[in-house]
Structure 1
Amino acid sequence: MAEIRRRRFLSSAALALPASMLVNTAQADSADYSVHQLKVTRVEALLLERPLTDRFWMSISPIGGMKPVATRLILKVHTDAGVVGLGEGTGGGAELFRQGLADLVIGEDPFMVGRVWEKLFALTYSRELVKRGWSRTGLIEAMAAIDAALYDIMSKSAGQPLYKFLGGYRAGVPAYVTGGYYREGQGIPELVKEVEGYLKQGYNAIKLKVGGISGGYTIEADYQRVKAVRDAVGPKVKLMLDANQGWDVSTAIQASNKMYDLDITWLEEPLHWYDDVEPLKRLKESTRIPLASGESEITRWGARRLMETEAIDFLQFDAHAHGGITEWRKLASMASMMHIWMAPHHEPHIHGHLLASVPNGYILESFANPERDPLWFELYTRRPRIEKSVLYLDNIPGLGIEFDQRTLDRFGTKLV
């Protein structure tokens, strides 16, 4: 009986509603939301090669090689609606655009980015890759730039900045500065002066290079470098250490325990390249410093193996270098379920949007030295700003970047 009375009440209440309200509801339900389906019509690709003026040594090698060069793959992906997507990559796989890679994207709908990604990735396990003479790694590197350009198109078409298009979580992302490279002819006084310059720029988090044992830097030498920085910056500044795969397991254990009293936020890529996943378990059991890794992984499957060790606290997968935004977001979800923070390697203008769109985004890498990373200062006429160790994203649709044509003309080589 109670249910019958309830139904009679709802019926009478509906009859009592103004007719205009019922009419408006029907009109809203029948609205036409159809939109024009975009198609990629043309791809422009450039390879930038910008010589550096000095060597910035990591544990084993200098940035950009012994004759250092900063490289960048630049894409402009055009559509039939006039929307142009801008994409970037590290420069790996650039030669594939001279060998027909762009043809596989032309005619595709940018909003079907998942299909495009799978179409290209399928080549990595196909005879077609061999017939074309392409490398698997080169293709995955080139895919990163294509993927970014398609996301730029989609978010521009929606009139939203990329981080909001992806489902925004915040509009500002904490940022740290990478420095403290081993410099030829320079020592601790120059290192301290360098980091004091970062403090003046407003940074409250700094990453330093360690692990240079093959270059004559013992554990004690690295400790003295880091201690000098800690003494100079005080206790409130975060310090991260990057060994760039410079140590074996026993050395990493000794070094990490030696560094512990300096209040280190994380130790990054501590182990040699040939066995840098499973032994992390042993290192994790033997150190109290959180561990970070993942920039060298090229797919989510490799990163999954890394996370399954339960040894890392920060995942550093690089969407700019491998697989793109599509792959990065899958990994961010996987990492969230495993209580792992995302702290991606390099390129703040891309990863800023990604970190701003997920709840487990920890911090963003950036560069503040024009000698080390001249393209951050020369390549853009518009990009997100970094102030007081925070990258701020605005409401400009897409990635929010524009390239400086002068830099493209000066250092670029046309691919297609």
Structure 2
Amino acid sequence: MIITDVQAFKVVLPLAQPLHLGPLKIDKRDYAFVRIRTADGKQGTGFGFNRDGLVPEAVVRHLKSLLLGEEVLHTERLWESMYRATRFHGRRGLLMRAISAVDIALWDLKGQYAGLPLWQLLGGYAAEVPAYVAGGYYRADADTDTLRREYADYREQGYRGAKIMVGGATLAEDVRRVAAAREGIGEELPLMVDFNGALSSAKQALAAMEAFAPYQPAFVEEPFLMDNRVALRGFCDRTNVPVAVGEDESGRWAFRELIGDGLVDVLRHDATLVGGISEWIKVTMTGLSHEVPFYPHWFPEVHIHLAAAFPQGWGVELIPASSGIMGFDKLLDNPVEMEAGVARAPEEPGLGLRWKEEALEKWAVI
């Protein structure tokens, strides 16, 4: 079970049509991959967003030497070693993405050696979890009629609820968009709104939520950038809408502050950024000790295991392959899919993913 090789590369997938996430324009998807191999021939794969960064380079330059010759099963010791060795280069962001990808690959291997899928190895709470959908992205052809049909389709397909992007247009336009989504999905299913950090003050967020109130948002996600704790605190103190944050935050210490100060009602932490599966578990346990439920941010290929392992999870977030927004499905023979409102956790050991090696080679950038 000794590590003999660590490889890292990125995969760049062009999007057929650009989209907007609040102020961000996205015309491609840029993923970082880590492959860890052992002396007896097993291979674990970790991944996450590269975001035009240098995540693969960070793995090779700063982490690889700490891993070679080490025991795969010693994930806690290896995590501590990686975190301490890179603390002067950045305790969040790029370096934590690199640590996260490595840690996910190590847990993939751990599950393979145990002969168990990760969700069973970690806790085995439920083999099926509710499936929610993220949509309503800003696109040139997405008028209110298009949005209404999109969310009606989500209802008909059986999703347990849906999210819509806001914050990338005027408030008046966003109100029309949220109204169309609510009309499409119906009154009985939860509809969430996601600002993707577009706002800068509590007053802005409070005004927006007052305007959205007739459409009964189930939660509001990431109204501000995570560094803007002043605005988040002011908003949380005065809103009745549950606040979901965490997809852009890293490390247990930041979440200790968020949870302890009552600044989060739904945890959205992402194993590909928070510090891998090892750190995701620590954040989840902190949340559960405060009765804060979790709803992991996208990347269902890893989060299906985590959502299925522990109690008080909302479920898993999916983005349909047909939307062309992520492209990750092009890399897998068995992407996570919804059926009758649920996603079923894999039965294969580890992450249980079957990669399309030819697709990885086609779009890989070494």
**TM-score (norm. length: structure 2):** 0.93
Q: Deviations over 1:255-297 (max 9, x none)?
A: 112212312110001125552x243232223222111111111
Equivalent position amino acid for 2:98 in 1:
A
The equivalent residue for 2:233 is 281
Q: How many residues align?
A: 362
Structure 2: segments with no counterpart, 5+ residues: none
Q: Select which of 220, 226, 242 maps to 2:194.
A: 242
In structure 1, how many angstroms separate the alpha carbons of the residues matched to 2:160 and 2:284? 25
Q: Deviations over 1:350-406 (max 9, x none)?
A: 011111111121222110144443433211012443213311013211101011012
The equivalent residue for 2:6 is 43
The equivalent residue for 1:6 is none
In structure 2, how many angstroms separate the alpha carbons of the residues matched to 1:374 and 1:156? 27
**Is the partner of 2:164 in helix, strand or coil?**
strand
**Is the partner of 1:101 in helix, strand or coil?**
helix
State the 4+ residue runs in structure 1 displaced beyond 6 angstroms.
none
The equivalent residue for 1:33 is none
1:347 to 2:309 alignment: no
1:256 to 2:209 alignment: yes
**Is the partner of 1:110 in helix, strand or coil?**
coil
In structure 1, how many angstroms separate the alpha carbons of the residues matched to 2:94 and 2:224? 24
8 Å CA contact retained: 2:150, 2:184:
no
Equivalent position amino acid for 2:83 in 1:
F
**Is the partner of 1:69 in helix, strand or coil?**
strand
Q: Deviations over 1:121-157 (max 9, x none)?
A: 002335xx5xxxx886322111111101111111111
Call closer, same or farther: CA 1:258–1:135 in 2, change over 3 Å: closer
Q: Which has the larger radius of gyration?
A: 1
Q: Select which of 62, 74, 80 maps to 1:112.
A: 74
Identical pairs, percent: 31
The equivalent residue for 1:145 is 101
In structure 2, how many angstroms separate the alpha carbons of the residues matched to 1:252 and 1:136? 26
Equivalent position amino acid for 1:266 in 2:
F
**Is the partner of 1:87 in helix, strand or coil?**
strand
The equivalent residue for 1:5 is none
In structure 2, how many angstroms separate the alpha carbons of the residues matched to 1:116 and 1:145? 13
**Is the partner of 1:267 in helix, strand or coil?**
strand
Deviates more, 1:248-257 or 1:372-381: 372-381
In structure 2, how many angstroms separate the alpha carbons of the residues matched to 1:168 and 1:328? 16
Deviation at 1:330, TM superposition (A): 0.2
In structure 1, how many angstroms separate the alpha carbons of the residues matched to 2:91 and 2:118? 30
The equivalent residue for 2:39 is 80
Deviation at 1:170, TM superposition (A): 0.7
Counterparts of residues 166-181 of structure 1 (less than 5 Å): 166-181=122-137
Q: Select which of 109, 112, 125 maps to 2:87.
A: 125
Q: Deviations over 1:288-319 (max 9, x none)?
A: 21111111112111122221221321011111
Call closer, same or farther: CA 1:136–1:226 in 2, change over 3 Å: closer
Deviation at 1:219, TM superposition (A): 2.3
**Is the partner of 1:410 in helix, strand or coil?**
helix
Deviates more, 1:333-342 or 1:359-368: 359-368
In structure 2, how many angstroms separate the alpha carbons of the residues matched to 1:135 and 1:169? 32
Deviates more, 1:192-201 or 1:309-318: 192-201
The equivalent residue for 1:7 is none
